[in-house]
Amino acid sequence: MGRDRRCRATLRPRMKRPIAISDSANFYVSAERIFDPSLKNVPVIVLSNNDGCAVARSDEAKALGIKMGEPLHMIKDKVDAHGIRVFSSNYTLYGDISRRIVEVYEDFTPNVEIYSIDECFLDFTGFQDRTAHARVMRSEVLRRIGVPVRVGIASSKTLAKCANDVAKKNPIFRGVLDMMDETLADFVLPMVPVGDIWGVGHKTQKKLQDVGIHTASELRDMPIRQARALGTVVLERTVLELQGEPCLSFDEVEPQRKGMAVTRSSGAPMTDFETLFQAITAHATRAAEKLRNHGLVAGTLTVFYHTNRHRLDRPQYSGSRSTRLMPMSSDTFDLIAAARRCAQAAWPKGPQREYGFTKAGVLLDDLVKFEDRPLTLFDTAKPKSADLMAALDHVNDRFGKKTVVLASEGMKRPWQLRADHRSPRYTTRMAELPVVR
């Protein structure tokens, strides 16, 4: 009898965990509008690094036909004709606004997983009226931060993303859609194009359309074996997620990073080694700071740099070298010394030509916790430079980034990103605080 009872217990339906995803509407534009009321109801775009392409558009700009990724020089006439407001990316401001939004979310759920700068997954377990709870949360974000958000709720992350997309586009849901009810999912999923599903790329979309699958509901009903054959285990997981079976876990504990990258495009072409190495020094310095912030050390460092692949009138070159860090380290001086060796080894040999390098970066791999690092024969529990690095971080935290830098980073920094249209960093710079007159 006991065995029968256990068998029946395993057949009971498992309680599904409600997962919400909340994302900010046109986040970069919304962040700019917080401090500048004149931007409300007017077309606004925010540009990518070096003021290249439109990476964020207000609804008004979208209505004028501005496409995502459209280069600024291609839409100059439209910008002038319609008075479109143009901004450079202000990552310092956006990162701080994102942090403040997460603080609001943490008042409404104990478990928040940051997915991107404008999206978070939220655990809604235990809330009876999830829709009402989400609407109160939306109102609180708008009141305290000034950014509109939309919320989708479902039993899996992929379904929650679908719910969120529908909540964005259909005003009858008033910014919140709870799809825990399978009947509602049956009604909504036929409205979601298969190309809009989280994790379905352009190539997979074409394959699916070739076999007659055009909507989320049709993909949900696709046989599992066919999904695996068409798109490997990734598509199989997507099908299961659309059926309400969570395959992507809710990460309550942040996974340890396995790699790290600091890369930037240059505001002006870098034509000599010392200018290039100034940029690489800055990237290696930032990478070392990030390692120490996470309590990690790196075992491998890679340096790369390349010219503008679209400038066919200029000589092209791409260089990359890697080196082991022995012992593993997060010391700024260690990383910069290793980066210089790599950069010199990758420098073009033979007849000297004037290359214009437009991007460089530092990649770190083999990351482990500082306390778990393998020790060499002469290592001590505390590296000799630990106090110096702690002092360096403390000064830059207290008085602002780049207060203390290595001389090899230079002073003029011609390689820095262009940001001709950047707004003030209202929330993180005393000198740029908004003034009420």
Q: How far apart are CA 406 and CA 287, in angstroms?
A: 14
At 80-115, the pLDDT tens digits run: 999 999 999 898 899 999 999 999 999 999 899 988
Question: Would you place residue 415 in the very low, low, confident or very high pLDDT band (cuts 50, 70, 90)?
Answer: low
CB 15 within 8 A of CB 180: no
Amino acid 255: pLDDT: 59
* Closest alpha carbon to 421 in 133, 21, 62, 79: 79
CA distances from 29 to 26, 88, 132, 297, 300 (A): 6, 11, 27, 37, 38
Count of beta carbons in the 10 Å neighbourhood of residue 333: 16
Token pair of 306, please?
């390349």
pLDDT tier at 130, thresholds 50, 70, 90: very high
231-249 mean pLDDT: 89
400 vs 29, higher pLDDT:
29
Asked whether residue 326 carries a pLDDT value surpassing 90, the answer given is no
CA dist 289 and 404 (Å) reads: 13
**CA pair distance 160, 58, nearest whole angstrom:** 24
- What is Dmax (Cα atoms) for the chain? 86
Residue with tokens 């290359």: 355
The lowest-confidence range among 8-12, 81-85, 415-419 is: 8-12
Q: Residue 155 has what pLDDT?
A: 94
Residue 419 contacts residue 86 (beta carbons within 8 Å): no
Residue 232, both tokens: 């490997």
How do residues 352-366 score in pLDDT, each as one tens digit?
678 889 889 999 998
Q: Are 87 and 47 a contacting pair, CB within 8 Å?
A: yes
Q: Nearest Cα to 72, choosing from 39, 80, 92?
A: 80
Residue 11 has pLDDT above 60, yes or no: no
Exposed e or buried b per residue across 200-213, where buried means at least 16 C-beta atoms within 10 angstroms of its C-beta: beeebbeebeeeeb
In percent, the amount of the chain with pLDDT more than 70 equals 91
CB 150 within 8 A of CB 7: no
Give yes or no for a contact between 176 and 167, defined as CB atoms under 8 angstroms apart. Answer: yes
With cut-offs at 50, 70 and 90, classify the pLDDT of residue 9: very low
Q: Given a cut of 70, is residue 8 above it in pLDDT?
A: no
The span from the CA of 184 to the CA of 206, in Å, is 27
Distance CA 288, CA 401 (A): 14
Residue type, 389: M
Mean pLDDT of 309-335: 88
The predicted pLDDT at position 7 comes to: 35
Q: How far apart are CA 12 and CA 18, in angstroms?
A: 18
Mean pLDDT within 292-310: 90
Other Cβ atoms closer than 10 A to 403: 11
- The amino acid at residue 21 is I
Under 8 Å between Cβ of 153 and 177? yes
Please state, in angstroms and rounded to a whole number, the distance separating the CA atoms of residues 427 and 328: 36
Interhelix angle 386-399/273-293, nearest 10 degrees: 100
What CA–CA distances, in Å, run from 417 to 137, 179, 264, 266, 302?
A: 37, 43, 8, 5, 22
What pLDDT was estimated at residue 406? 78
The Cα 391–Cα 389 span in angstroms is 5
Please tell me the distance from the alpha carbon of residue 41 to that of residue 371, in angstroms, as a whole number.
53
Judged by average pLDDT, the poorest of 136-140, 251-255, 429-433 is 251-255
Mean pLDDT calculated for residue range 67-75? 91
